[in-house]
Amino acid sequence: MKILANDGISQDGIDILESNGFEVISTKVAQNQLENYINEHNIDVILVRNSTQVRQELMDACPSIKLIGSADIDMDNIDIQYAEDNGLHVINTPSATSNSVAELVFAHLFGMVRFLHSSNREMPLEGDSRFKELKKAYSQGIELRGKTLGIIGFGKVGKEVAKIGLGLGMNIIATDNLVKNATITVDFFNGQKIAINIDTVSKNELLKEADFITLHVTAQEDYIISANDIEKMKDGVGIINAAKGGILNEVDLVKAIESGKVQFAGLDVFETEPEPAVQLLMNPEISLTPHIGAATKEAQVRIGVELANQIIELLG
């Protein structure tokens, strides 16, 4: 069987597949050429990320396809229901990137509370001439230990965020429409572990109580955080979005930062990706990364291995 890994797959995944008799093609095929390529090469499996669309029209035009695999948590780029209704397997790896995204959340958190996002801009320019001034400007940082972290969306990533927060000594509160409570197990390097039960709270309670709020939900029809929600938050709150562009009202966020209601924000995803609004890029109180939450070497290995094992189980 032939597998087109159109947006790539780790070598570990390729090795597993090839050792089980699959042929893996890692050629990047443009969206408008995908139909012809699949049919010409009689592709059985297509593996994609969000940059490749697998819609009904492509499935209808490519009868050789038996399985569609996604390397992303969200599969907005795939017509999943149509695929399954027509007997196609659709797989992804929701657990593979959870820790990577969670660690990025804390990279933003640590950077924000110690002003690294700002000092890393200023020090290269004026660190030699304004060292004492900059030292004074960035000497009002705070510690995460003892602070309350509010997690909106208590799925796989939200629970990984909770683990790290608990390990740091933070108070964790979470809200989720489907999850009422969860047992979070914090594993330590020496094999010891502790289990802590967390009951979810209402969104309004979370907004009022949290010192920092991090978003971990899928795409929504409307914003889950906008001006009305921000108004309910503590003064000086920090907000992080490493989940999905379009769930946080970025215009309202900038206004809240300018008014002082929100002290800082960390953004890995953007409403107008891949061209984030200039107001966000130029704002000195926003810590920015270019949608790299899942982009660690370890996560890519896990994705490749998990996809390979699922393909073998279903088609091997």
Distance CA(64)–CA(173), nearest Å, equals: 47
* Strands 193-199, 181-187: pairing kind: antiparallel
Q: Is the dihedral of CA 77, 299, 148, 281 positive or negative?
A: negative
Cα maximum dimension of the chain: 68
Distance CA(207)–CA(185), nearest Å, equals: 25
pLDDT for residue 301 = 96
How do residues 120-132 score in pLDDT, each as one tens digit?
A: 999 999 999 999 9
DSSP H or E stretch at residue 301: helix 297-315
Given a cut of 70, the residues of the chain with pLDDT beneath it are none
Angstrom distances, CA of residue 1 to CA of 24, 65, 205, 257, 290: 9, 10, 52, 54, 35
Instruction: Identify any residues that bridge with 193 across adjacent strands, giving them in sequence order.
Output: 187
Distance CA(169)–CA(196), nearest Å, equals: 12
Whether 209 and 68 have beta carbons less than 8 Å apart is answered as no
Structure token pair of residue 60 = 């209808």
Own/partner pairs, 176-183, CB within 8 angstroms, 24+ separation: 176/152, 176/200, 179/154, 179/155, 182/154
In the chain, where the domains are located = 2-93+297-315, 98-288
Whether 227 and 252 have beta carbons less than 8 Å apart is answered as yes
CATH of range 2-93+297-315; options 2.130.10.10, 3.40.1010.10, 1.25.40.10, 3.40.50.720: 3.40.50.720
Q: Identify which of 239, 244, 243 has the alpha carbon closest to the alpha carbon of residue 254.
A: 239
Distance CA(5)–CA(29), nearest Å, equals: 9
Assign domain 98-288 to its CATH architecture.
3-Layer(aba) Sandwich (3.40)
Distance CA(171)–CA(161), nearest Å, equals: 12
Distance CA(267)–CA(244), nearest Å, equals: 10
CB atoms within 10 A of CB 36: 12
Residue partners of 82: CB distance under 8 A and separation at least 6: 56, 59
pLDDT for residue 80 = 95
| 2-93+297-315 and 98-288 have identical folds | yes
Distance CA(189)–CA(180), nearest Å, equals: 29
Q: Identify which of 47, 18, 75, 41 has the alpha carbon closest to the alpha carbon of residue 312.
A: 18
pLDDT for residue 160 = 97
